[in-house]
Structure 1
Amino acid sequence: MSNQSSHSDANEVSAEFGYTPELKRTLGSFQVFAVSFAFISVAVGIFGTYGMLLNNAGPVGIWTWLIALAGQMLVALVIAQFAARIPLSGSSYQWASRLANPRVGWIFGWLTFCYLVVGLMAIDFAMASQCLMPLFNMTPDEQTARILTVVILLVQAALAIASTRLVGLINSLAVGVEVTIVVLLVVALLVAVAVTGDGSAANLGSRGVAADSTEYFAFGGGLMAVMIVGLATLVGFDSAANMAEEAKDPHRTVPRAIVGSVAAAGILGMLFLIGLTVAIDDITKVTASESPVATIMRDQFGAPMERILLVVIAIAFFGGGLVSLTSCARMVFAMSRDGRFPAHQVMRRVNKRSQTPIPATVLPLVIGIVVMIVLPGDALIELITAGTLFPAITYGLVVILYLAVRKRLDRKRGAFDLGRFELPVAVAALVWSVCAVVILLSPIDATVPMIIVGGLILVGCLYFGFMLMFRREVLDSEPGQDVFSDTDRRTDPDPQDAEV
């Protein structure tokens, strides 16, 4: 009876903000946590960036992770404040629309959509090229990687369409496997070094191949560049907020998932980095390797352990991509039900049987397939690199929004609340957000990613201009107000309900 009451109370949240509950609340507290943790994915982030860290700053560069962890935790605390008070799909779009104005909210929503769809392509392409192809001993080939990426996207879309509960179960499994294996690897690496002597704690203070770099401490130089390891990994924790309408007791579970996922990922990631770094036997050889993490595993445990690692990384990649796709679909759905996304009449439809927004899920799939077909190789890599800028910019804007509207936020009994610490935390989060954007823009080769980010923002501006000229009434109403006719608000019909 209590579960039914809790479920009813959660659905009243949607009604309170002007929406008829359409999505099914199936995600428990751990599953909500798994949504954020799977997007962060420590194993995936470190696997993909550890080589860059060794090349730019040497093994000692791992300690920049702690700086990124502290900064991202500040941002997570601010986002959790919003999530506790407005637990709706669309997260930042909803917060800005209701607390600033719908035009500002639209900008937040478009930026988040861009970073989710770019992140989805980055995760799945990396899974195909850096994980599946080496796992199955396939010769490196970009076209093969693109085909595999499309297959991965199709499988993820099918799962996301079938059931949110299924997505939650798969993510929970992926997170459980990832955490267990990473902890075991850390212990095993340290034990192996102690037994064999192949490795050294002195690595933790070594600059490695970057020891003679004249730009090591310069602006945009080696030490500053490796901040991207933490910045590119400890993102996506706001995905839980985007799934709030499918979470049970969202006022509590969503903010706890946001903060808890950053804390857990930060601690686990630091331990993993320490274990890997101590286990390096030959810094120059490992740095020159195409996959330093896999090389360390092979050197310490032999080829079988390298393959086990690749399997675990593949599971983590898949979970992160699945969360990205699902979260992106929820942002599209949230903006569409308010008439603020292209083809909104179609994109807002929810299937009665699966209670999932099928068209909104298909959209990022189609975009991913088109990009894999038409975008040249260099441009694809630059697009993926550009994806790191979107969350940094979006998080910074969310923090600015919080500082501007915090006095108007309602306090809900039992919900997450920083109390008297909210202002100093928010100010520190803003300082960090500015630093994060500067860090990501500092490398000399950041010009092309900046152009790509600017291009995607320009596309959004064009549609925004269209709405201002021809559909201004949509941007004049708060989300949840009646901007549709009853016909527009219908869910997808169940074929069995159709009358002949």
Structure 2
Amino acid sequence: MSMTGERPDRTSADDHHLAALGYEQKFDREMSLWANFALGFLYLSPLVGVISLFAMGLAAAGPPAVFWILVAAGGQFLVALVFGEIVAQYPLAGGLYQWGRRLWSGRYAWILSWIYICGVIIGITSTALFSADFVAGLFFGTAAEPGPESSPGARLAIALAVTAVALLLNITGTRTLARISKIGLAAELLGVLAVGLYLLAFERHQPFSVFFDTMGADGGEGYLGAFLGASLVGLLLFYGFEACGEVAEEVPDPARRIPRAMQLTVLVGGAAALLSFAGYVLAAPDLPAIVAGDVGAPVPAILQNSLGTVGTKAFLVVALTSFLACVMGQQAAASRLVFSFARDRMFPGSQWFSRMHATRKVPMNALLAVNVPPLALYVFVFYSPDSLFRIAAFQMLAGYVAFQMVVLAALRMRLRGWRPAGAWNLGRAGLPVNVAALAYGVVAIVMLAKPSGDAGLAFYDRWIALIGFAVVLLVGLAYLLLARPGRDSTAPEGDALEVADKLRSLRPRS
């Protein structure tokens, strides 16, 4: 018997859609639209991203670096629109893997997912390790030194603790993930909006015209070069919205809700990042010193000057909540992709990785497995602290390449006659949006792969992102060619045209 009038019909429709794609329902659909949006938003985390990128952006191009937030938000919104059409037709766990498989082939999806999963594992690692300085600032900071840098030992211990807590919460099931996501969303929006508006209203030390002044950041070589050098401010910030689709089988009415959640993630995340970055710029009492690189930790210094010790520590509590929720989201996205891989028998041990916990309805083994590589990386960073930024440099390049492999697969299928048949689609606008999204992505990949502008660095350090990506790609290709993963898989692939026709035939006729 049903407890509501609409739930049985909705559940039945979701089950029928899943069955039409070749799978049966195993997850609990307990993630609402807002929880799904919160998952993507906290994965993107504008609060953490702006704090991490603020000094670098100002040093590269001065206050005008803020405009890269608008550029990247616009480009990634196009990507989110393309993803929305795909997930509406294929609302399956493991998002990017399934989209690549159904739009192209299993082998194409395998290498795409290999690149993406390596990026997410680095994401878990870097997020947990970067949280260490926030913990140090919260518990050991003073009025004179609001953000002390944590030691390698403390960084290792804190990263292990953050990973363990996030894992334990994830293991309890989708409902906990949804609740923590919504709590983190509320905390981060409160932190961004409250702090940003307070800084703009009561602590503004700079005129608004400062956003058109490089303050010497161009080094006399022209503004365009400096502005392009600040591109990482936007490009490194806008990712995570794809996590909304990784948990598609845990969301009721996913074909309608997940596209909206992805779009909200980019739009609200972009607005929050813009407000936050602009607020810090306008509240900086000595902005030229920050642009010149004379202030080691500018955001804590600005907060200390504006909010005092108590206000700064309250802000750090919000930031740590975001870090924890972000790690949870990364773990969830990675585990669902591994589960989806295993369900299609795409690598050795698939039977073990595809097991679902009988009562908690989570892929327990996959969830545990995705946290093993970060543990090894934590130890590596402990012995080589300077390697953290080298490791993190690969993360975003991998993410952008994986995204654009999906966008390319969608464009290829459109040119073969595919018309997305999900409950949400762009209609005739789909093709030009797809082309524009691919163009943006190619430019972004080139900018992420280009060498560092610091000629004083060693060759390896200047090209670290591209070198790291090349190593991962070559390892993945070698495994793909030699081990032939998926040779026993019978899961559908390259069937976007057929599924679109099938879904249209299943719709009730008016």
Q: Same fold (TM over 0.5)?
A: yes
Correspondence for 1:37 among 38, 41, 59? 41
**8 Å contact kept, 1:156–1:322:** yes
Correspondence for 2:476 among 460, 473, 484? 460
**8 Å contact kept, 2:86–2:420:** no
One-letter amino acid of the counterpart of residue 247, structure 2: M
Correspondence for 1:417 among 411, 425, 433? 425
How do 1:344-359 and structure 2 match up within 5 A?
344-359=350-365
Aligned to 1:484: none
d(CA) in 2 for partners of 1:361, 1:2: 33
Residue deviations 1:124-143 (CA, integer Å, cap 9, x gap): 11112x31122211653122
Correspondence for 2:278 among 269, 274, 279? 274
d(CA) in 1 for partners of 2:215, 2:335: 43
Secondary structure of the equivalent of 1:18?
coil
Is it true that 1:302 corresponds to 2:318 in the alignment?
A: no
Kindly tell me: are residues 446 and 352 of structure 1, through their superposed partners in 2, closer, same or farther at Cα, counting changes over 3 Å? farther
Tell me which moved more, 7-16 or 31-40.
7-16
**8 Å contact kept, 1:286–1:296:** no
Secondary structure of the equivalent of 2:362?
coil
Aligned to 1:401: 409
Correspondence for 1:148 among 142, 158, 165? 158
d(CA) in 2 for partners of 1:344, 1:276: 48
Taking every aligned residue pair, what percent have the same amino acid on both sides?
27
Aligned to 1:431: 439
Residue 217 of structure 1 and its aligned partner are, at CA, apart by 3.0
Residue 248 of structure 1 and its aligned partner are, at CA, apart by 0.7
Correspondence for 1:478 among 481, 486, 492? 492
d(CA) in 1 for partners of 2:178, 2:491: 33
Is it true that 1:166 corresponds to 2:176 in the alignment?
A: yes
Aligned to 1:202: 209
Aligned to 1:325: 331
Residue deviations 1:73-100 (CA, integer Å, cap 9, x gap): 1111111111111000111211221221
Residue deviations 1:378-427 (CA, integer Å, cap 9, x gap): 333211121010111112111111111125545447x2211111111111
Is it true that 1:186 corresponds to 2:193 in the alignment?
A: no
One-letter amino acid of the counterpart of residue 455, structure 1: V
How do 1:441-456 and structure 2 match up within 5 A?
441-444=449-452, 445-456=461-472
How do 1:69-84 and structure 2 match up within 5 A?
69-84=73-88
d(CA) in 2 for partners of 1:159, 1:450: 35
Is it true that 1:157 corresponds to 2:167 in the alignment?
A: yes
d(CA) in 2 for partners of 1:471, 1:438: 31
d(CA) in 2 for partners of 1:361, 1:213: 51
Residue deviations 1:170-200 (CA, integer Å, cap 9, x gap): 0111011111221111211111136xxx333
**8 Å contact kept, 1:338–1:480:** no
d(CA) in 1 for partners of 2:220, 2:400: 28
Kindly tell me: are residues 165 and 446 of structure 1, through their superposed partners in 2, closer, same or farther at Cα, counting changes over 3 Å? farther
How do 1:320-399 and structure 2 match up within 5 A?
320-375=326-381, 376-399=384-407
One-letter amino acid of the counterpart of residue 119, structure 2: Y
One-letter amino acid of the counterpart of residue 180, structure 2: I
Secondary structure of the equivalent of 2:114?
helix
Residue 478 of structure 1 and its aligned partner are, at CA, apart by 2.1
Query: What value does the CA root-mean-square deviation take over the aligned residues?
Result: 2.1
Tell me which moved more, 256-265 or 442-451.
442-451
Kindly tell me: are residues 352 and 379 of structure 1, through their superposed partners in 2, closer, same or farther at Cα, counting changes over 3 Å? same
One-letter amino acid of the counterpart of residue 402, structure 1: A
Aligned to 1:494: none
Kindly tell me: are residues 471 and 11 of structure 1, through their superposed partners in 2, closer, same or farther at Cα, counting changes over 3 Å? closer
Tell me which moved more, 300-309 or 397-406.
300-309
d(CA) in 2 for partners of 1:3, 1:64: 43
One-letter amino acid of the counterpart of residue 173, structure 1: I
Residue deviations 1:40-67 (CA, integer Å, cap 9, x gap): 1110110110010111111121112111
Kindly tell me: are residues 408 and 158 of structure 1, through their superposed partners in 2, closer, same or farther at Cα, counting changes over 3 Å? farther
Residue 246 of structure 1 and its aligned partner are, at CA, apart by 0.5
**8 Å contact kept, 2:45–2:269:** yes
Count of residue correspondences: 471
Kindly tell me: are residues 410 and 11 of structure 1, through their superposed partners in 2, closer, same or farther at Cα, counting changes over 3 Å? farther
d(CA) in 1 for partners of 2:240, 2:200: 30
Aligned to 1:112: 116
Residue 168 of structure 1 and its aligned partner are, at CA, apart by 0.7
Residue deviations 1:9-39 (CA, integer Å, cap 9, x gap): 2223322211221111110111111111111
Residue 286 of structure 1 and its aligned partner are, at CA, apart by 3.6
**8 Å contact kept, 1:35–1:239:** yes
Secondary structure of the equivalent of 2:37?
helix
How do 1:257-296 and structure 2 match up within 5 A?
257-287=261-291, 288-296=294-302
Aligned to 1:493: none
Tell me which moved more, 297-306 or 373-382.
373-382
Aligned to 1:62: 66
d(CA) in 2 for partners of 1:119, 1:139: 20
Secondary structure of the equivalent of 1:422?
helix
Tell me which moved more, 287-296 or 396-405.
287-296
d(CA) in 1 for partners of 2:353, 2:392: 25
Residue 159 of structure 1 and its aligned partner are, at CA, apart by 0.9
d(CA) in 2 for partners of 1:408, 1:83: 18
Secondary structure of the equivalent of 2:371?
helix
d(CA) in 2 for partners of 1:479, 1:348: 19
Gaps of 5+ in 1: 482-500
Residue 328 of structure 1 and its aligned partner are, at CA, apart by 0.4
d(CA) in 2 for partners of 1:101, 1:139: 47
Any runs of at least 4 consecutive aligned residues in structure 1 with deviations exceeding 4 A, and if so which? Answer: none
Residue deviations 1:424-452 (CA, integer Å, cap 9, x gap): 11111111011101111223344122222
Aligned to 1:491: none
Kindly tell me: are residues 62 and 471 of structure 1, through their superposed partners in 2, closer, same or farther at Cα, counting changes over 3 Å? closer
Secondary structure of the equivalent of 1:210?
coil
Is it true that 1:90 corresponds to 2:94 in the alignment?
A: yes
Is it true that 1:229 corresponds to 2:233 in the alignment?
A: yes
One-letter amino acid of the counterpart of residue 86, structure 1: Y
Residue 342 of structure 1 and its aligned partner are, at CA, apart by 4.0
Aligned to 1:496: none
Gaps of 5+ in 2: 141-147, 453-460, 496-510
Residue 206 of structure 1 and its aligned partner are, at CA, apart by 2.3
